[in-house]
Structures are given as structure tokens and as C-alpha cells.
Amino acid sequence: PYNYVKGYARMQQFMETNLGRASIMRILDVVNTFRPTFRSIAQALTDIDLLLVEEGFERLLLDYDAVFNAFGVPACLWRRTGEIYKANREFADLVGVPLSFFHEGRVCIYEIMSEASAVNYWEKYGEIAFDASQKAVLTTCVLQTSASVRSLVHRAAKGLGDARPMSSSRMALAISGVADQPSPSQPGRPVRCCFSFTLRRDKYKIPLGIIGNFIPTP
């Protein structure tokens, strides 16, 4: 089963390093409304239940393979704690980060948003997290790659990236020749977008994956 506790800890560490105190408090106010409920539901599940939920997430990734490949709009898919597990080339080009970084949670959605946009996202997410009748939000955001992501990309380009074994998905990207192709946009450049995100829930009504679509605006 996926360890969401580590996901929240990672988000907390990022916020303390990159966001102002007022923004952190606004995000934590939202997270603290739904995290205890999600945790209590998860604690009531067996290991088999949790494994089946994770299988559901893997199927979700497979479902969006063809969608993202055929979809010309920049898009990505992340877990409820923000780790991005799938994106299309258009999204990678938009934020100026190689496509290979948008797999296995190497980069989080809040790490490539401006501070105000990250706060807005979590507040909008909190409004529908508990409401199973609501699953989509249309808003705006500014995509802006954080210094930590730019550093990750820079280190990888110099051969100093993380030492984790290459998974089958990363290996497939490398073999295809697109894994480490540079994106045309300049990392860190703010990009204003019309932004929509849709929640996909598991059988227990907990958000399993979030799919975001981004249309650049003048």
C-alpha cells in the first residue's frame, strides 16, 4: 500500500522551505479538515483492501495512457498528496521540465505552482474532497517551477540525480528516446493558465487520483 503519511510529510517540508507563514496556515487549515477522516477510513481497511485500492490507482494510470497521448491539452495526474505520476509531453513543455520527471512522484503538483496558486488549489480541493457528488473544479493558476525542482533537473542533467533503481516505466521512457529530452520552455518562468481538475475516487469515496488540465492564457 502507498504510504500517504510520507506524502504529507514531504508537503510539509516543502511548505516550510518555500511558502510564507500565512500561506502555510491556509493550506494546513484545509488539509486538517479532511486528512483525519481519510486516515480513519484507511485505518479501518485491511492490507488486502489497501492493496486493491493501490491496484485501482495503477489501473487509473493505464486508463490515462491513451487519453494523455491523444489529448493535445497539457495535462497530468497526481495522488491526493500531490505526487505526479503521469503527464503528457504538452505539460512537460509548458513547465519546462523533461517528461521523465513526471513519473513515480518525483515532482509534486504544488512544486510547480506559484504560492498563491498552490493555496487556491488546496482550498478548492478541500471544498469537494468530501462531496462525492462533486468531482470537478474550474479555476485559474500560475505554473512556476520551484527552485527545488529546477535543482533536481539540473543535478540529473549533470549525472547527479537520485540513485534509485530505474523502474520499468522510467526504462521504457529512456528506451523510447523521450525520457530526458529537454523541454522548450524555460523552467521557473511563470505561466498563467485556465486550470481544471477532476477527482477520481476509490470505492470508499476517497480521492484516488486528480487529473489536471492546463490551458495557457495571455
* DSSP letters for 88-130: -HHHHHHHT--GGGSSTTSSBGGGGB-HHHHHHHHHHHHHHSS
Q: Tell if the pTM clears 0.95, that is, is over it.
A: no
C-alpha cell at 154: 539540473
Angle ∠(186,194,24) on CA atoms, nearest 5: 75
C-alpha cell at 207: 480521492
Q: What is the pLDDT of residues 30-56, one digit of tens each?
A: 999 988 888 888 889 999 999 999 999
Q: What is the pLDDT of residues 147-158, one digit of tens each?
A: 999 999 988 888
Q: What is the pLDDT of residues 167-178, one digit of tens each?
A: 444 444 443 444
Question: Comparing 21 with 38, which gets the higher pLDDT?
Answer: 21
